Structure 1
C-alpha cells in the first residue's frame, strides 16, 4: 500500500491538502497517543509507556521538520509519501493503546491486545522514525551533498530514494550541488526507461528546467539540459516537459546563452521535436526556427567572439563534458563551431520533418536556404548530412505545396540555384551512398520546378542508373519518374532529355543485371516514358 501511495499521479497529489495541514494533523495524533499511552493505560503499562517514548521521539522529528516547511521551497513528493506512512503507523499505535485503557473484563476480552501486537507496533514506529531521519537528513544537509542512504519506505526500490534526494537538492541546495544532482539524474535516466519515468513522475522536470534560467551559470544550464535530453526520448515524457512550460524556457536559453549551452539546448530541442509533433509547432511559435537559422549564419561572429574575448570562453570540467580532456583545456574553436552547427542543423531537421508550416518558415527566413547551401558545400560528415536532411524535408514539402514551390524555388532565386547546384554536385561527386540518395530524393521532389531547358538536372540522375549500389540506382529511377509523371506539365520535354542522356537504355541494363529491387517502379518508369514519347 505504501508503494501505491508513493507512486500516485501528480493529478491526485494536487488534490491533497497542504503539507502544513498534514503535519498539524500528525502532531495532534501524536499528542493523543502520548496522552492515552501514559495517562490512561490500565494494563500493559510498560509496553504502552514504550509506545509513548517512541511517539514522543517521532513528535520531536515532526516538529523539527516544520522549520523546513516554513522556510524553504519544499519538494513535496517524498514528504507526502513518508507522512502518509507515519500517519498509518500512528493510527495502528493509537488503536492498540486504546485497547489497554478498558477496565471491564468483558471489554478486555472483546478488545484483547497481546505482546505480539505491541512488537508489531514497535517495529512500525521504528520504521516511521527511520523514514523521518532520512527526510531530515535530506533537508538538513544543504551543503553536504546528495544523501545516498536508503529509507525503509523505498527499501524495495533503491533508485527511488536517490531520485528523491537529487530532486530535493535541485530545490534547496547551492548551485554546485544542484549541478551534481542534475548530473546524477542524467546518469540515472541513461540507465533505463523505468528511471526516466520515475524522475518525471516524482516531479524532476520542473526543477531541471529552472536550472536553464541561470544565465550567469553556464555549467548549471548545461547540466539541466543534459538531464532533460536523457529524459526526452519518449512522446509522453516530452509532453511532460512541454506541460511544465519547457518550450519558452528552451527558446530563451537558445537565444541568450553561451555557445556551449546553446549546443545542449539545440540537442534537446531536436529530440523533443523528433518525438512530439506538438513541440514542433510550439517551438515555431516561439521563433526558434528563426533563431536557429540566425545562429547558423553567424559563424564568423562566433569565431571572432571566441578568439577575441577570453572571458567568453568557458573552461569545462570533466564532469560536464567527459568526452574531452580532463585537463580542462578549451576545445579547438573550429571543432566547437562544427558541433554547434551540427546540432542546430539537426534541430531544424527535426522541426521541419513532416511539417509543411515549419518548412515554409525556414524558407521565409532571410538566409535559410543560402546558409544550407554554404554548409553543404564546405562541411562534411554529420553536419552535411543534417543539412541535406533538412533540405530534403523542405523540398518534400515544396513538392506537395505550390506556394512553397513558387516562393522558395523560383527559377531566378539565388537560394534555389545554390541549393540545386550543391545537390547536383553531390550526386555527381559523392562516394557516400546515403548522401547520394538524399540528394537524389531532394532533386526528385523539385522536379516540377525545373524548366525544360534545364537539362543539367537530368544528366546526373541518368548517370546514377549505372551506379553499382541498387538503392542509388532505384532512387534515380524514382526521381526521373517524377520528371515525366502526369502532374508535371513539362513531362514530354523531360522525357526527351532522359532518352537523349541514355536514361532508358541504362534502366534496361539495370533490369538485365537484376539490380532493380522494386520491379513495379521500373515498369511504371518505362510506361510514363512511352506515354510521353507518343
Structure 2
C-alpha cells in the first residue's frame, strides 16, 4: 500500500523533479566520501559508482522533454528506476556518513563492516545497469528492446511491457504495430499481464494507434490488444477514463471492414463486462452504426415492394437515398456521409465502396461481430433495447434470422431474446414495439415460431426462441393460438431443458398476471398440453418445478376441464415430495389453490383436497 502511494506521488511530479533528487543525493555522497576517515578505499569505490550513476541520470535529464512536449516521451520506466536509484543512494549516503570522524562512543555504537560496502556496491551497480537499460530504450528511437534490466530480474514481463509501450509512444509506425501485437500476445496469456499493461500506461498509446487511419494493420493490432485487455470491469474503466469510447465509436463508423470487425468485437467484449461501458456506448450512439453495418448489402436481391409498406427493403432504399442527398448537400466535401451516425468524411464513402467488393466471408464476419455487439449492448438494458428498435433494428434482425444460419443467426436470435426480455419488464417498450399490427413485431414473431419448429437439432436456438416468445406473452390476444400450439408441442420435447423452458413460457400465458389467462389456459388444454405436462412432472428438478407451476395455473383457471381429471392431475399432486414443495414458496401458495379448484369441479376428490402442503 505504501509503495502504491509512493508511486502515485512520483507520477504526479514532473520528470525533471524526479531525476533532480538522486542527482542532489549524488553530490552529497561525493562530499561525504571526501570526509571519510575509515574505510576510505571502500568509500572511494562507492563514490565512483555514484559518479557513474549520476552521469546517466544527467543524460536522462537532457533526454527527457518538458511536460509541454506532450505524450511522445514515455517516462514510466525512468520514474520507476530513478525512484529505486534514489533509495539506493540514500542507503549509500547513510553508510558513507558513518565513516566520518566521530567520538569513540559513536564508533562503538555504530559498527560498519566491509560486507556492508559489498552489498552497497552491488545495488549501486544494479542501479547503473538499470539506467543504462532505460537509456537504451530512448537511444533505440522507438525500437523494441528485449534485454533484461536488474530491476526486472525477478519479473521480466515488466521490462518487456515497458519496452513495448515505449515503442508505441516513440517508435515508427512499423515498430508501433509490432509493439501492439506483442502486447496483445502478452495480454492473451493471463490476467496478471493484462493488469501490468494497464498499470504501466499501455491503454493511452493503444487508443492513439487505433485512431491512426493511415494503417489498417495498426488499427487491427491496437484493437486486438485492447480486446485482450477488456475482460475486467476495472481495466475497462481505465479505457473509458482515457476517452476510449468516442474513439472506438468513430473508428467503427469510419474504417475499413477488417478494422470494423475487430472494433465491433471490442465493443461486444466491453459491453459484456462493464455496465458503465454499455451506457457510455449508448450515449455515443454506437447502436446506429452497428445496425447499419449489420444491414449492409442485405437486401440487394430482394424484389421491390409497395412504397406504402414499411418493409426492410424499403427502409434500406430510403437510407441509401438519404446518403446520396447528404453527399451533394455541401460543396466543400465535408458532409455527413453516414446514414445513421455522427459526422463522416470522404473516407466513409470510400470504405462503403470497398465493402461492396469485399469477399462474402469477410462481410459475414463483420455481421457476426456487429450482431454480437448488439446482443451484449441489449443484454439487461431497456434503454439500449429501445434504441435498437428505434433504428428499425428488429426488422434487420428478423431478416437475418430468416436468411442466415450458424453464428450469425444465433447472435441475432440472442439479441431478439434480450430485446423481448426488456419489453417484458418495461410496459412502455412492450406497447410501443410489439403491437399486434406492427410489421417489425410480426416479422420477429414469425421467425421465432419458425425457429421453434425447424431447429429441433439445435436446442440452443429453440431455447432462445421459446424464451423470447414467453417474454412477449402479454402482447398476444386470445385468438393468437398459433403461438400457444407450438409451445404446447415442445412440452413433450426429448430435451428436458427445452421442455422446461416451454413450460416457463406457457406459464407466462397462464399466470394470473396475464389478463387473458383463462382463455390461454383453455387453449393449452385444448391443444393436448396436459398429458406431456404430467410426464414433465417426473423429469429433473427444473422440469418438475416449472411443470408444477403451469399445472397449478391450469387447474386454477380451467379447473372444470375433464382433461385435467383424465390425466390424473390430483394423483400427481398426491405423489409430490413434500420437501420439494416446501422449498419453493410459489408452489406452497399455488398447490392448495389448484387442489381446491379441482375438488370443486370433480367427484371423488374430497379426501385429496385435504392434503396439507
Structure 2: how far apart are the matches of 1:186 and 1:301?
37
What's the offset of the Cα at 1:50? 2.7
* Equivalent in 55, 61, 65 of residue 60 of structure 1: 55
Task: Provide Cα deviations, 1:479-503, integer angstroms capped at 9, x if missing partner.
Answer: 1221122122222222232223222
Is the CA contact 1:10–1:201 (under 8 Å) kept in the aligned structure 2? Answer: no
Structure 2: how far apart are the matches of 1:107 and 1:461?
93
Structure 1 unaligned blocks of 5 or more = 315-330
Shift in CA distance, 531/105, structure 1 to aligned 2, threshold 3 Å: closer
Task: Tell me, yes or no, if structure 1 residue 401 matches structure 2 residue 423.
Answer: no
Task: Provide Cα deviations, 1:393-441, integer angstroms capped at 9, x if missing partner.
Answer: 1111111211111111111111111101101011111121110111011
Structure 1: how far apart are the matches of 2:300 and 2:248?
20
Task: Tell me, yes or no, if structure 1 residue 26 matches structure 2 residue 22.
Answer: yes
Structure 2: how far apart are the matches of 1:82 and 1:302?
61
Written as runs of structure 1 = structure 2, the 5 A alignment for 1:375-386 is 375-386=400-411
Q: Which residue pairs with 1:80 in the alignment?
A: 79
Query: What TM-score comes out, normalization by structure 2 length?
Result: 0.77
What's the offset of the Cα at 1:231? 1.2
Q: Which residue pairs with 1:429 in the alignment?
A: 454
Matched residue SS, 2:514: coil
What's the offset of the Cα at 1:45? 3.7
What's the offset of the Cα at 1:106? 6.6
Shift in CA distance, 526/100, structure 1 to aligned 2, threshold 3 Å: closer
Q: Which residue pairs with 1:238 in the alignment?
A: 236
Structure 2: how far apart are the matches of 1:291 and 1:186?
26
* Equivalent in 443, 461, 465 of residue 418 of structure 1: 443
Q: Which residue pairs with 1:139 in the alignment?
A: 138
Q: Which residue pairs with 2:496 in the alignment?
A: 470
Structure 2: how far apart are the matches of 1:310 and 1:400?
39
Is the CA contact 1:359–1:394 (under 8 Å) kept in the aligned structure 2? Answer: yes
Written as runs of structure 1 = structure 2, the 5 A alignment for 1:287-306 is 287-299=285-297
Structure 1: how far apart are the matches of 2:418 and 2:352?
39
Is the CA contact 1:183–1:223 (under 8 Å) kept in the aligned structure 2? Answer: yes
Written as runs of structure 1 = structure 2, the 5 A alignment for 1:85-100 is 85-100=84-99
Matched residue SS, 1:410: coil
Name which one, 1 or 2, has greater alpha-carbon Rg. 2
Is the CA contact 1:186–1:226 (under 8 Å) kept in the aligned structure 2? Answer: yes
Matched residue SS, 1:70: coil
Q: Which residue pairs with 1:530 in the alignment?
A: 555
Is the CA contact 2:500–2:543 (under 8 Å) kept in the aligned structure 1? Answer: yes
Q: Which residue pairs with 2:128 in the alignment?
A: 129
Structure 2: how far apart are the matches of 1:133 and 1:68?
13
Is the CA contact 1:375–1:387 (under 8 Å) kept in the aligned structure 2? Answer: yes
Structure 2: how far apart are the matches of 1:21 and 1:46?
32
Shift in CA distance, 50/510, structure 1 to aligned 2, threshold 3 Å: closer
What's the offset of the Cα at 1:511? 4.3
Is the CA contact 2:537–2:543 (under 8 Å) kept in the aligned structure 1? Answer: no
Structure 2: how far apart are the matches of 1:123 and 1:342?
57
Is the CA contact 2:423–2:430 (under 8 Å) kept in the aligned structure 1? Answer: yes
Bigger relative contact order, structure 1 or 2 (CA pairs below 8 A, ≥6 apart)? 1
Structure 2: how far apart are the matches of 1:269 and 1:309?
23
Structure 1: how far apart are the matches of 2:376 and 2:516?
33
Aligned-residue CA RMSD (Å):
2.9
Structure 2 unaligned blocks of 5 or more = 302-319, 321-345, 561-613
Q: Which residue pairs with 2:592 in the alignment?
A: none
Structure 2: how far apart are the matches of 1:84 and 1:10?
9
Structure 2: how far apart are the matches of 1:226 and 1:282?
21
What's the offset of the Cα at 1:109? 5.5
Task: Tell me, yes or no, if structure 1 residue 371 matches structure 2 residue 396.
Answer: yes
Shift in CA distance, 235/180, structure 1 to aligned 2, threshold 3 Å: same
Matched residue SS, 2:64: helix
Is the CA contact 2:423–2:471 (under 8 Å) kept in the aligned structure 1? Answer: yes
Q: Which residue pairs with 1:326 in the alignment?
A: none
Q: Which residue pairs with 1:319 in the alignment?
A: none
Matched residue SS, 1:299: coil
Shift in CA distance, 518/190, structure 1 to aligned 2, threshold 3 Å: same
Task: Tell me, yes or no, if structure 1 residue 47 matches structure 2 residue 59.
Answer: no
Written as runs of structure 1 = structure 2, the 5 A alignment for 1:104-503 is 113-143=112-142, 145-299=143-297, 333-365=359-391, 367-430=392-455, 431-503=457-529
Is the CA contact 1:9–1:201 (under 8 Å) kept in the aligned structure 2? Answer: no
Is the CA contact 2:436–2:475 (under 8 Å) kept in the aligned structure 1? Answer: yes
Task: Tell me, yes or no, if structure 1 residue 508 matches structure 2 residue 503.
Answer: no
Is the CA contact 1:392–1:439 (under 8 Å) kept in the aligned structure 2? Answer: yes
Task: Provide Cα deviations, 1:331-384, integer angstroms capped at 9, x if missing partner.
Answer: 97111111111111111111111111111111111x210000011011111111
Task: Provide Cα deviations, 1:27-83, integer angstroms capped at 9, x if missing partner.
Answer: 22223333443x444454433333332222222211211232127733232222211
What's the offset of the Cα at 1:296? 1.1
Task: Provide Cα deviations, 1:6-36, integer angstroms capped at 9, x if missing partner.
Answer: x668744444x22101212222222333344
Structure 2: how far apart are the matches of 1:182 and 1:301?
38
Structure 2: how far apart are the matches of 1:283 and 1:28?
49
Task: Provide Cα deviations, 1:99-135, integer angstroms capped at 9, x if missing partner.
Answer: 4442876766665644333322221221110111111
Structure 2: how far apart are the matches of 1:351 and 1:79?
40
Structure 2: how far apart are the matches of 1:12 and 1:433?
56
